[in-house]
Amino acid sequence: MNELEEYLHKQSRMFLAALGFVLAVLLALADYLNPGIHLDFAYMIPIALVSWHAPRGVGVAMAGCSACMWFFTGKPPLDSLATSAINGVNFAMLLGGFVAFSLVVSALRHERAINRHLALYDRGSGACTRNFFSELASAEISRAQRYGRPFTLAFLNFRYGEGTPPNLGCRNEGAVLRKIARSIRANTRSCDVVGLQRDYEFVLMLPETDNCSADIVLRKLYDRLAELLRKNEWGLLVGVGAVTFLRPPETVEELLEKAERLATRVREGGIGKTVHEVCTTPSLYT
């Protein structure tokens, strides 16, 4: 079912509209050939299909198209003014119901997309949540194990300097986190993953990045972040701890444990500098 949903979601608006129209035509044909069978609510199937996967306007158009097909097939002939009035009222009611149904489906899809985004990305910073980062890290470990390519994990910790009172110049923590996360993404590749571990602590995964490349990237990133913090006068300092895996760990748990070790090293003495090491063993416990 998920595969079918992903397939339909990738299709063009024209394809989805055509698919919905074909389904509506088939229902109209069945309605016309079998007058004794009422298929009024069956038209909601193509409406739901189009409204869920296509933009709202396309779904509303599908609702109007379905109502018109219902009106012109399988209904008593318009042989009197009374019959015309009744059919007109029925058409208006059905059209309103179909349009309302289409709007409800579109609203549910929009709410689902928002909830999915909130489950994957932190609302304040826009970085990946811990769970989503773990999923992406697991996929990267599998890819590295398959192709034997290195990758680098970096931990970025932001702390107030000595003698700087908390929240000095940082009245809006969410805005500060967003600016920091935006700066990290601006100075890394689109394939790199930025995650938020906890307040003012980010983790960065650099796929297919060896120790030499990581040194260049992290030095540039550290300089840009230090400049950002200095320019905004937030009173924050940044520390970067990184490890390059020439051979990937066995599990994502080992990777995250290494991230915690890096976090501890940075908190204890890495603020204001960059710490980088290389891991050559497949397991962190050997």
* Least confident piece of the model among 45-59, 208-222, 234-248, 263-277: 263-277
Specify the pTM. Answer: 0.66
Is a pLDDT exceeding 50 seen at residue 286?
Answer: no
Q: Give the pLDDT confidence of 130-144 residue by residue, as tens digits.
A: 888 888 989 999 998
What are the residues whose beta carbons fall under 8 Å from the beta carbon of 65, sequence distance 6 or more?
Answer: 20, 21, 24
Question: What is the count of structural domains for the chain?
Answer: 2
Is 79 inside any structural domain? Answer: yes
Residue 89 is assigned to a structural domain of this protein:
yes
Is the per-residue pLDDT at 151 higher than 60? yes
Q: Which domain holds residue 263?
A: 130-279
What's the pLDDT at 172? 73
- Look up residue 246 and give its two tokens: 């020439």
Model pLDDT, residue 168: 46
pLDDT of residue 75: 55
CB-count exposure of residue 85 (10 Å: 0-12, 13-18, 19+):
exposed
Please check whether residues 162 and 234 belong to one and the same domain. yes
Within a domain: 215 = yes
Q: Are residues 146 and 259 in the same domain?
A: yes
Q: Which of 65, 93, 120 is the last residue of a domain?
A: 120
Q: Are residues 140 and 246 in the same domain?
A: yes
Check if the beta carbon of residue 46 is closer than 8 Å to that of residue 88. Answer: no
Strand, coil or helix: 129: coil
The stretch 156-173 carries a mean pLDDT of 66
Same domain, residue pair 256 and 187: yes
Report d(CA 159, CA 93) in Å as an integer. 62
159 in a domain, yes or no? Answer: yes
Looking at the fold, whether 147 and 67 belong to one and the same domain comes out as no
Q: What is the mean pLDDT of residues 24-29?
A: 86
Would you state the pLDDT for residue 263?
Answer: 73
DSSP secondary structure code for residue 42 in this structure: G
Q: Would you say residue 78 has pLDDT above 60?
A: no
Contact 218, 250 (CB under 8 A): no
Task: Say if residue 100 is in the same domain as residue 142.
Answer: no
> Average pLDDT, stretch 227-232?
89
Alpha helices in the chain (DSSP H): 2-10, 13-33, 44-53, 56-72, 81-120, 130-147, 173-186, 211-232, 252-265
Please provide the average confidence, as pLDDT, over all residues in the chain.
Answer: 82
Last residue of a domain, one of 120, 153, 178: 120
